[in-house]
A and B are shown apart, each in its own frame.
Chain A
Amino acid sequence: MSKYYLFQDQKRCIGCMACVAACKSRQALPRGPFPSLVVTIGPRLVGNLPRTAYTFMPCFHCENPWCVAACPTGAMRPRTEDGIVTVDPDLCVGCKTCISACPWGAPQWNPETGKAVKCDYCYERVEAGLEPACVTVCPTKCLYFGTPEEIPEIRRERYARARAQDL
């Protein structure tokens, strides 16, 4: 597991896709691949009101990733220093096994380079003390990036507040 964690406060997310666009533009990707994607769920009627949820789906940087096991060339590796799973474009030959192996569809296909591409938490920015591109551009500040200890206890607080209103 990566030592970092990217948390989305779904309640604040308005589905503007700024994070998705920033992600693509930082990696200069052509049409097709979305290393991170906001999945739109709904609208569903909840108590006679239409509700929509937006789930931010980057890579989870698993502890024991399928993509790494599937990769025959050793291009897909977790970084030793922080566990971020990255593709080395020099080693990737474009067999797409990582893409097919991942249960979440995180590795994506870049048709221009003929190689796999994926969310790498913008590790170069992180190393420079910055946040990933998606987090930086979020207008509602619903994305949080940091170590798991730093992630705010939003859900817990919100739950507690809702309980309190019940009283």
Chain B
Amino acid sequence: MDSQTCSVKKLHDQIEQTLNNGSLSHPRCRQRATEIFDLVHDVSQGLAGDDHFDSILELAQNLVDEGLTPACRELGEHVAAFVDQHQEEFISHIRTHTCPTGRCPMLTPAPCQMACPAGIDIPSYVTLVGQGKYAEAISVIRRDNPFPWVCGLVCTHPCEFMCVRGRMDKSIAIMDLKGFAAEKAMSAQSYQNPEPGPDNGRKICIIGGGPGGLTAAYYLALRGYRVTVIEALPVAGGMMMVGIPRYRLPREVIDREVAMIESLGVEIRLNTRLGKDVTIESLRSEGFEGFLLAIGAHGSYKLMIPGEDDYEGVIPAVSFLRRVSLGDHRRPGKKVAVVGGGNVAIDAARTCLRLGCERVTILYRRTHDQMPAHHEEVVEAEEEGVSFSYLTIPKQVQGADGRATGIVCVRAELSEPDGSGRRRPVPVEGSEHVIEADVIIPAIGQEIRPQGLEAFEEVDWTRRNTIRVHTVTMQTNQQGVFAVGDAVTGPATVVEAIAGGKKAASAIHRHFEGIAQPALPRVPVRRRRLPHFDLPASLKTDLDRPKMHQLSNDRRRITFQQVHLGFNEQQAHEESKRCLRCDICIRCGRCVEICRDKMGIEALCLGYLDFDTPGPTDLRITAERCIACGACATNCPTGAMQMTDRDGYRELSLCGTVLNRLQLEYCEVCGAVLGPARYHDYIVKRVRDVSPTSNGRRICLECARRQSGGQHAEITPPPR
């Protein structure tokens, strides 16, 4: 499908054209066509229910059967064939209230929602947080992500990179608001599960209790499946639990959210390794019909340098973090060298500091700007005292008496950009030097450990040593065996695993119910359509992204307490009010175009509307120039721009942000509302050359008509 065409909109326009060109001469035929048009219009406006689809088909069939004129029959046949051909797109419009092409303005999704791998309806929950409805916000999030609290603390938040407010000043703290809502709802005990569907008797076994597996378990349990999760470790949560350190993601957070999933009837068997504690045969004999492999990527890439395997003290980052997470809080050594520039390297380094290591250095072969780790985390690591050695390539591990004593490195410089635009680190000859370290932590990437999966003989593996699945059905080469998470994608993020788990649950359900798998790419679902907050342009501009309080640096260096202390309620409410509500305003720029090019007023300065090359934005300038003619509001395809008369003033607002407010004038005769004085001045100036109108009197058009009608009336005396 061409991503720029929307079948619903196309049919909408075709029927409109047929209605307008007069080819439907028969009145009944026109009536039917109008009814079809109204139904298609509903679909494109997000007002349609499930019955709309069948009704459109039925009406089209009526047109064909009645066959009143050839044009009627032709239209009926066309509509029936077209709707049938694009059935999935129509149903998707009806069910998801999303038109990914943006051709149906009311269904155009916000960029943040499109950027979220899990497709969370971000504008809706941000608004609910601002309204103080935390439990509702959580239930909106959990339609797409059963771990709002976890993701509220450690998500990579690609949504914030796409945030339109970021084009104006700073992006909305989308992640932090999610964490805030989850904490509030959990504390108020209003964080609740939705009602699961009736038990359908099917048993599914999920191998691996990480974010991918547990998410699939959650959505399968909601659909009535009996789900059992097999987890090799003594704790549930996978990499969330044993990969992400506690100071970023407290254990209680994972425990509480996993418990919510368990309370839906999901059984989690800990300390159970497939191939050792249970076998596929034993599981099949328990009655499991479907298997979901969600084993994650718990292996580490090796440095492939001499000495790596010869000395004690070389601990891969993933093993190290797992050991610490499972309770081993012994100091690994005094001087630590962590190799790598990703988030795992930073996590390992900061964990070492907290365990009492005296000096922790991160060795990275490129420069600061090229580090894949998040900027904030690098800054926090620096604050805590982690030192960085950039442009440093490890060459050999040195040791004595079986213990590592240091790592030989060479310095590097960046090459000129190659064909792909990347600058490669090139070793500098003769720059060998030794960095002292009794602990060396390689953190250069993770791989999947396939041990235990041998029993799934037909499962196919890719060259990258990940499980090969069909991208839509999530099924492996083996019937009834599905896979998800890092085991499929390679090491990725929590939210990507969650997105995969949700997709797998839906694919498994379709597989067992015999429902056709979707042919079109998945689109996020618009869960709610909430009103916006009303606030003046100056406040909307002045509100700043709040700075989150952090634990003191001393505590950060000695304890595993959570570093980010969260927003307070006022900060969260204000932050949610900064949202530009891109679910309502689709940034088509029609308002700016009309004000500038058609009216010649240039009262709207909304540079942020241009996503790729944003210009200056000044919400306050509108009040100085706008004449309140309302052309922008009239032409807004979604009702984001509104002009209303309230309390004697005419107000222009964009998604609730009041851009202009002018005092109204009233008709001298009947008291009806006229426009504001600035609007009249504009007209008077334009018609000055014709002749003055109404001698400066302010009367409404009704009264103007009545008065001139009276002047022309001939009431004659009756004939004698």
Contact = CB atoms under 8 A, between A and B. Distances in A.
Interface of A: 10-11, 37, 39, 41-42, 44, 46-47, 49, 51-55, 57, 64-66, 69-70, 72-73, 93-97, 99-106, 108, 114-115, 162, 165
Interface of B: 594, 598-600, 629-631, 634-635, 674-675, 679-680, 682-683, 686-687, 689-691, 693-694, 700-702, 704-706, 708-710, 712-720
A11 B718 CA distance: 11
Given A66-B687, A93-B598, A100-B679, 17 more contacts: A10-B714, A11-B716, A47-B718, A49-B718, A51-B715, A66-B690, A66-B691, A69-B689, A69-B690, A72-B598, A72-B600, A94-B630, A100-B680, A103-B708, A104-B705, A105-B702, A105-B708
A106 B702 CA distance: 10
B709 A41 contact: yes
The 10 A-B pairs with the shortest beta carbon distances in the complex, nearest first, are A39-B709, A105-B701, A94-B634, A105-B705, A95-B629, A53-B713, A114-B634, A55-B709, A41-B713, A95-B631
B690 A65 contact: yes
Given A39-B706, A100-B679, A114-B635, A46 B717 contact: yes
Contacts of A96: 629-630, 675
Contacts of B706: 39
Contacts, number: 117
A71 B700 CA distance: 18
Given A66-B687, A103-B708, A93 B719 contact: no
A41 B706 CA distance: 8
A51 B704 contact: no
A70 B683 CA distance: 6
B712 A165 contact: no
A73 B708 contact: no
Nearest to A38: B709
Nearest to B686: A70
A104 B704 contact: yes
A165 B704 contact: no
Contacts of A49: 718
Nearest to B705: A105
B519 to A, nearest CB: 37
A39 B705 contact: yes
B693 A66 contact: yes
A72 B709 contact: no
Nearest to A48: B718
B629 A57 contact: no
B708 A104 contact: yes
Residue among A41, A46, A162 with the highest chain B CB neighbour number at 10 A = A41
B634 A53 contact: no
Nearest to A67: B687
B686 A97 contact: yes
Contacts of B635: 93-94, 114
Contacts of B712: 55, 57
A153 to B, nearest CB: 15
A11 B680 CA distance: 38
B718 A46 contact: yes
A75 to B, nearest CB: 9
10 contacts: A41-B709, A57-B709, A73-B598, A93-B598, A93-B599, A97-B629, A100-B683, A102-B701, A103-B693, A165-B720
Nearest to B680: A100
B690 A64 contact: yes
B630 A41 contact: no
Contacts of B686: 69-70, 72, 97, 101
B690 A95 contact: no
